[in-house]
Structure 1
Amino acid sequence: MQDQPLIFFHLKLVAKVALTAGVAAMLCLLVAASFLAGPSGSSYESIIRNSSITRAQMGPVMLLAGLVLVSLVGVVTWMIALYSSFRVAGPLYRFAQNVKLAMASDTAGLVNLRAGDSLKEQERHIKDAVSGLRAHHAMLDRLSWQASSALERGDADAYADAVASLKALDEKARI
């Protein structure tokens, strides 16, 4: 699984489910056919009697077989969706927690993903973005402090330098 993208794992899983559903359908058909066939007779009368019994039972047996197949495929599909969603929903929840932590504090640590979770690359991007944003805010604070202290001291050159640095930082942050 490590050499291939995660989508191939899910496609293989879906292919296995489809193959299993096909095998189950074939088994249900064989069981239904053996149930409907009944004992074989050598006389014309027993063949006609078995045929009429088979026709009468065909609908309920096929309905039951269909319900079993639909239930089986539905449960297996639900299990795959549940497994896949936990590998994606968990990281999305953690990403939301990281954004909340980043908004609440500049020093709060970020929540890491679990070992088997998907979206590891996106986690790295979010952590890089949060650390870049924290560094940007720290630089804004430092330059704002420099500008305000230069203004208090009456140092016009230092104030102009700090404002120019703030403008350059602002331009850097524009998208």
Structure 2
Amino acid sequence: MDLLKNKILEVGVVISKDVIKLDSILNHQVDPQLTLEMGKVFATRFREAAVDKVMTIESSGIPIAFATALELGVPLVFARRKKTLTTDDDAWSERVPSFTKGIVTDIMVSKAYLREGERVLIIDDFIANGDAARGLIRVIRRAGAEIAAVGIAVEKTFQSGGRSIREEGIHVESLVKIASMENGNIIFE
């Protein structure tokens, strides 16, 4: 997706050979037009997958997942990272490490919003080691639902996440693939 590649080159800040900061368009501030375009592209790629729901983890994946769900005309469900006063106690939960945060958190999805037999499309902003996606995959499987596919805005192909999920036989589509960020240079596949 050239629009996303150009934005990454324009605003991306390479923190290290493993970390890129895109908080001006994806993580802290959201570029609405870019986000809607990403949703349209994902919807086009996954329209034939007979998706019942789109799922992501709060919070950075929500805008892109929302745009995708809107285009597909299906609900968006996001896994919560923090329990609130209104959190349903009857929930699927998993422990998930975060590559960028360097912590492990519990994610929760109410059983009322994820049911057996549903086809679920996972959408997220980044994939590095794939822990967040694998956590959602485990939740979906435990619920007896089916993984339709995984859509990722930015895949760092020099890390194992996307590759390891594909090796499980799950269809993964990435809008942009970064092959390297050595010496501060962003190299796309």
TM, length-normalised to structure 2: 0.22
More helix by share: 1
- TM-score, length of structure 1 as denominator length: 0.23
Q: Which structure carries more strand by proportion?
A: 2
